[in-house]
């Protein structure tokens, strides 16, 4: 379990603030930190946003590493759509 020591909380807040200040980064990211390593999780629109978020996090003083657990919204939405289509019984629609 990750402990949120004051240093971790401060680093987490600093990275979150840096991401929020970024123009053009439309993201739904959560940030956690442990001993200088920041984890970015959530979803963004495209690969460029993943790279931008990582670059922003790496630029924050005190960050020693960045773990990226970000998914692309389009891919996630496509999976949801495929599951919805697969869940529909064609016999019920034709009914």
**pLDDT tens digits, 76-93:** 667 777 778 777 766 666
Confidence of residue 19 (pLDDT cuts 50, 70, 90): very high
Share of the chain above pLDDT 90, in %: 56
What DSSP string describes 6-65?
HHHHHHHHHHHHHHHH-TT--EEEEEEEETTEEEEEEEESSHHHHHHHHHHHHHSTT--E
**CATH architecture assignment, domain 6-94:** 2-Layer Sandwich (3.30)
DSSP secondary-structure letter at 72?
E
Sign of the four-CA dihedral 31, 34, 35, 41 = negative
Q: Tell me if 36 sits within 8 A of 11, measured CB to CB.
A: yes
């Amino acid at each position: 379990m990750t402990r949120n020591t004051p240093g971790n909380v401060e680093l987490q807040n600093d990275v979150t603030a840096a991401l929020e200040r970024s123009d053009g980064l439309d993201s739904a990211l959560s940030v956690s930190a442990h001993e200088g390593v920041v984890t970015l999780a959530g979803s963004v629109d495209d690969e460029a946003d993943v790279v931008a978020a990582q670059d922003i996090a790496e630029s924050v003083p005190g960050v020693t590493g960045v773990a990226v657990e970000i998914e692309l919204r389009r891919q996630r939405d496509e999976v949801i759509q495929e599951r919805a289509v697969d869940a529909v019984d064609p016999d019920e629609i034709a009914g």
